[in-house]
Amino acid sequence: MARFPIPTPLRQSAGGQKEVEVAGTTVGEALAALITEFASLHNHLYNDASKSRSFVNVYLNDDDILCLDDRDKTAVASSDTLSIVPSIAGGRE
Amino acid sequence: MSTLAALNATSPATALTKEELERYSRHLILPEVGVEGQLKLKNARVLLVGAGGLGAPLALYLSAAGVGTLGLVDFDVVERSNLQRQVIHGTGDIGRKKIESAAASIAAINPNVRVVRHELALSSENALDIIKNYEIVADGTDNFPTRYLVNDACVLLGKPNVYGSIFRFEGQASVFAAVDAPCYRCLYPEPPPPGLVPSCAEGGVLGILPGIIGLIQATEVVKLILGLGESLQGRLLLYDALAMRFRELKLRKDPDCPICGTHRTITKLIDYNQFCGVPQASATPATVAGEIDPVAVKARLDSGEDFQLIDVREPQEYQICNIPQARLIPLGELPKRLHELDRSRPVVVHCKTGGRSAKAADLLRQNGFTGVLNMTGGILAWSDKVDPAVPKY
């Protein structure tokens, strides 16, 4: 199990939920479970080749797991928070 | 660039005037600031890219704090819909250039501040020439091409880029590109495809939010000038206004970063619109196939022509204003509500300005609909051209 707080820009693709709890013992399983539950999140997290997008970061607790060699195999515990941090650009208008 | 040439010719101040000693007394009695620190502020040159949501609090507080030179980059005019958050502009400034309105507010707060006006859009052609005259850049823009441009120019010139960004109820802040610090590309190597991440104009923003994030940026600017405290470099601060929670994530310098990594492939500014996949304005003809002018839509409605008019905005936007004959199906719901539309009848789609409805038109065409037209300029153009009683937002 892991918790995904859903950032505002992606909430529409996650049934309006602020936080989603998904099954899985690794980051890969948790991400897969999230996509299974909310198919439209796939577009935001993966490109056409199903590789993770480089404008979205996934953090395990406060660490960027894109930096880990084998990100998908990283273990997650039920106390863990997986954060999706998408790029936003607002500020001037 | 005569103003910039004059700027560079100025020698640093070595003393504060009597008026300044009084004005800045609460700084001067802080042992961490003192006269020495206040002189650093007075001699500092900070460039604010954007005089809007983030630029407003940045400019107000940095000028009050005594930052001697503030460069402002902006080319917009003040609109009524800006006033909910851009507190440097007032109701009487509507229609005025933002740069002039901001300069007037700054002068009213602190006439000691020199404002350098850059009334233009920052571009690959002018960014290095402008930024090189400043010590610190605060990024308060509103689009991805300019964000990458500011980042790259700051990395190439070795200037810290004090970053802030907002959307709805959430904000991000960091300090990029300072010595040995990660840059924006280390965090986000690539921008999202156009349209995937909504802008504040589409998605809305809590008016207070840019105040919080802009003042976090202002704090980091002042700390950098004074050489105080722990900078946000290497950390991404996330703020959630609804949860009233700050989180902090570690940022690492990406060794493969194309502009600040070990094997750099970007050594000069590039075409950022192309990089971000933004269509070039010149490539878009005035009338595009598959589009229809609001006046023509009105004529079709008046003549009783048989077609379906679909409004793909959000319900809260529909509440503000709508075309009575239009049926609301928000863009996000359209894929699963296609069965509600009659494939045998033509469809005209509209939104606020024409962007979302273009996506809706594409989606309908991909799903086998024929005779799909996008109303050019959305309901704002309808208000301009057909019915001025329709409020603009």
- Domains recognised in chain B with CATH numbers: 2-281 (3.40.50.720), 285-385 (3.40.250.10)
pLDDT at B285 over 50: no
Report the C-alpha gap between B393 and B296 in whole angstroms.
23
Region B329-358 average pLDDT: 92
Residue-averaged pLDDT of chain B: 92
Q: In the structure encoding, which two tokens stand for residue B207, read together?
A: 């008016």
The predicted structure's pLDDT at residue A28: 86
Q: How far A26 CA lies from chain B's nearest CA (Å)? A: 20
Among A44, A59, A89, the residue with its CB nearest the CB of B147 is A89
The predicted structure's pLDDT at residue A66: 59
Host domain of residue A49: 2-86
> ipTM surpassing 0.95, yes or no?
no
Does A52 contact chain B (CB < 8 Å)? no
Asked if residue A17 belongs to a domain, the reply is yes
Tell the residue number behind the tokens 């960004």, with chain if given.
B165
Interface test with A, best of B85, B161, B196 (most A CBs within 10 A): B196
Q: How far B306 CA lies from chain A's nearest CA (Å)? A: 33
Contact flag B172-A62 (C-beta cutoff 8 Å): no
Contact flag A88-B165 (C-beta cutoff 8 Å): yes
The predicted structure's pLDDT at residue A77: 85
Q: Which residue has the higher pLDDT, B221 or A48?
A: B221
Count of domains observed in chain A? 1
Asked if residue A91 belongs to a domain, the reply is no
Report the C-alpha gap between B275 and B286 in whole angstroms.
24
Interface test with A, best of B76, B249, B359 (most A CBs within 10 A): B249
Q: How far B71 CA lies from chain A's nearest CA (Å)? A: 15
The SS3 of residue A60 is strand
B276 is catalytic: no
Catalytic residue from among B154, B186, B200, B321: B200
Contact flag A9-B165 (C-beta cutoff 8 Å): no
Interface test with A, best of B200, B212, B237, B393 (most A CBs within 10 A): B200
pTM: predicted TM-score of the whole model, two decimal places: 0.85
Asked if residue A93 belongs to a domain, the reply is no
The predicted structure's pLDDT at residue B11: 84
Contact flag A9-B142 (C-beta cutoff 8 Å): no
pLDDT at B3 over 90: no
> A85 forms bridges with which residues in the sheet?
A57
Q: Quick check: B165 and B55 in contact, CB under 8 A?
A: no
Low-confidence ranges of chain A (pLDDT < 50): none
Closest CA to B220 of B174, B157, B263, B189: B174
The CATH number covering residue A10 comes to: 3.10.20.30
Highest mean pLDDT among B18-22, B139-143, B191-195, B312-316: B18-22
pLDDT at B283 over 50: no
Among B191, B210, B247, the residue with its CB nearest the CB of A91 is B210
Region B346-374 average pLDDT: 92
Q: Encode pLDDT of B110-158 as tens digits.
A: 999 999 999 999 999 999 999 999 999 999 998 999 999 999 999 999 9
Region B152-178 average pLDDT: 95
Q: In the structure encoding, which two tokens stand for residue B332, read together?
A: 């996000």
The predicted structure's pLDDT at residue B278: 79
Asked if residue A42 belongs to a domain, the reply is yes
pLDDT at B379 over 80: yes
